[in-house]
């Protein structure tokens, strides 16, 4: 049986396929930064892929995500006769199910050892503490994690309660004074999608401990999930030193 040709429109899924069977990948987005040195055709961004270029690669499978990719682009790929597998990830258990679906059912691969290792790592996770937090993902304007998010679920498993977890929107725009006055014990600042860092973010929350976290370990679902419990726990502990 000929190995399938795969185009990935999602950085997390690109890394997942590349860590399991890199020879399958023939195309990926400009934002697919892991693994380093991935030598495949770049087909634009997650929100603005070059549809014609994807079609020209003649993939057997295009892997996408309902949140990261736009429906009109996916519809155009389907209309060209391509098989498009769309994932939906809102929490950790769903991420494990979708990764299995992409790799085993979609790509015809054996279940990879790293996926079992990731499940084991999270099954044994111990909360760092019990904190109420705001989790900005953007500034100018300020936006935070709201309800029903993968990153929020990871943090909850580590003992961090998102104060906006019950907000009707998933990524609400929220004025900074409201965030500062939310009664939070902590602000969690990932370095993606906005590149928060030591000099860009914590100063907006005077007197509040700030956890600077690696966005890949907080928001990506793939091989990074193996190390994510230790990496995120370390960042949370560092905020209170």
Is residue 177 pLDDT above 70, yes or no?
yes
Is residue 197 pLDDT above 60, yes or no?
yes
SS3 126: coil
The sign of the torsion formed by the CA atoms of 9, 10, 15, 20 equals negative
Residue 16 CB contacts under 8 Å (≥ 6 apart), including other chains: 99, 102, 103, 221, 222, 223
* Fold topology of 126-238: Rossmann fold (3.40.50)
Report the pLDDT averaged over residues 229-240.
97
Is residue 213 pLDDT above 70, yes or no?
yes
Tell me the pTM: 0.94
Q: What is the pLDDT of residue 96?
A: 98
pLDDT tens digit string along 89-104?
999 999 999 999 999 9
Report the pLDDT averaged over residues 196-212.
97
- Report the chain's mean pLDDT, rounded to a whole number: 96
List every span in the chain annotated with CATH 3.40.50.1980. Answer: 6-111, 126-238
Tell me which of 3.60.15.10, 3.40.50.2300, 3.40.50.1980, 3.10.620.30 is the CATH number of domain 6-111.
3.40.50.1980
Helix (H) or strand (E) holding 133: strand 131-134
Is residue 2 pLDDT above 90, yes or no?
no
Q: Residue 172 and residue 136: Cα distance in Å, rounded?
A: 10
pLDDT above 70 covers what percent of the chain?
Answer: 100
Q: Residue 53 and residue 219: Cα distance in Å, rounded?
A: 27
Instruction: Give the residue among 184, 189, 229, 190 at the shortest CA–CA distance from 207.
Output: 184
Interhelix angle 228-238/113-123, nearest 10 degrees: 40
Is residue 1 pLDDT above 70, yes or no?
no
- Residues 231, 216 contacting (CB under 8 angstroms): no
Q: Residue 54 and residue 83: Cα distance in Å, rounded?
A: 12
């Amino acid at each position: 049986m000929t190995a399938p040709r795969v185009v990935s429109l999602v950085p997390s899924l690109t890394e997942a396929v590349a860590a399991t069977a890199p020879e399958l990948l023939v195309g990926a987005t400009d934002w697919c930064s892991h693994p380093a040195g991935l030598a495949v055709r770049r087909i634009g961004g997650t929100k603005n892929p070059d549809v014609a270029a994807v079609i020209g690669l003649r993939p057997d499978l295009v892997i996408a995500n309902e949140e990261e990719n736009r429906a009109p682009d996916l519809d155009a790929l389907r209309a060209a006769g391509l098989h498009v597998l769309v994932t939906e990830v809102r929490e950790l258990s769903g991420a494990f199910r979708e990764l299995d679906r992409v790799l085993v059912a979609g790509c015809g691969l054996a279940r990879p050892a790293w996926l079992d290792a990731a499940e084991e790592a999270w099954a044994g996770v111990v909360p760092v503490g019990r904190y109420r937090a705001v989790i900005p993902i953007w500034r100018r304007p300020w936006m935070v994690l709201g309800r029903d998010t993968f990153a929020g679920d990871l943090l909850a498993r580590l003992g961090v309660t998102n104060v906006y977890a019950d907000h009707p929107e998933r990524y609400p725009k929220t004025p900074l004074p409201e965030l500062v006055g939310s009664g939070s014990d902590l602000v969690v600042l990932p370095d993606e999608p906005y590149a928060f860092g030591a000099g860009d973010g914590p100063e907006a929350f005077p007197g509040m401990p700030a956890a600077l976290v690696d966005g890949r370990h907080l928001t990506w679902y793939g091989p990074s999930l193996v190390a994510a419990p230790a990496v995120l726990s370390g960042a949370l502990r560092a905020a209170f030193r």
